Amino acid sequence: MALWKRKTTLEELNKTSQGCMVEHVGIEFTVLAEDRLEATMPVDSRTTQPFKLLHGGASVVLAESLGSMAGYLCTQGDQQIVGIEVNANHLRAAHSGYVRGVCQPLHVGRRNQVWEIKIFDEGDHLCCISRLTTAVIDL
């Protein structure tokens, strides 16, 4: 069974991100594969903390943005996705360049979903692992 129920392109995903936090912190969707969604985010003045390291909250923004978009792509019609729980374990600091988030499903049900998001630095070192639980809302 196909994971994605909505048809879209990376260009369309990136257009939907304009004018909100996703655009503000520079997140760009880069891979829409059969089993995962990926995005990058710069490590710069928008996403670092005072010690010039990637802010943990920025990592969570990347994780929740990926999981929420992936969740939406698994819905149909007027259904919407809302996050109900997110956690993150910060394993390694990122100092510069970009980080890459890789989002894959752990559970995609009719009423809730659980997504795993791994965030890697440019050296492909795991910096953060996050889990997002979403609820499917019928409008």
| Domain layout of the chain by residue ranges | 10-77+94-131
Q: Which residue, chain included where needed, has tokens 């990376």?
A: 10
The active-site residue, picked from 28, 38, 64, 122, is 64
Task: Give the tens place of pLDDT for each residue, 96-111.
Answer: 999 999 999 999 999 9
Half-sphere exposure of 115 (CA within 13 A, CB side): 36
Domain 10-77+94-131, CATH: 3.10.129.10
Nearest to 59 by CA among 88, 95, 30, 26: 88
Task: Give the tens place of pLDDT for each residue, 29-87.
Answer: 999 999 999 999 999 999 999 999 999 999 999 999 999 999 999 999 999 999 999 99
Q: Which residue, chain included where needed, has tokens 């639980």?
A: 133
Is 64 in the active site?
yes
User: What's the predicted TM-score (pTM) here?
Assistant: 0.96
Percent of the chain predicted with pLDDT > 70: 99
Return mean pLDDT, the chain. 97
Nearest to 114 by CA among 75, 80, 78, 68: 68
Two tokens, residue 30: 């880069």
Which residues does 87 contact at the CB level (< 8 Å), separation at least 6? 130, 131
Across the beta sheet with 98-108, the strand order is 28-32, 37-42, 98-108, 112-120, 126-137, 80-90
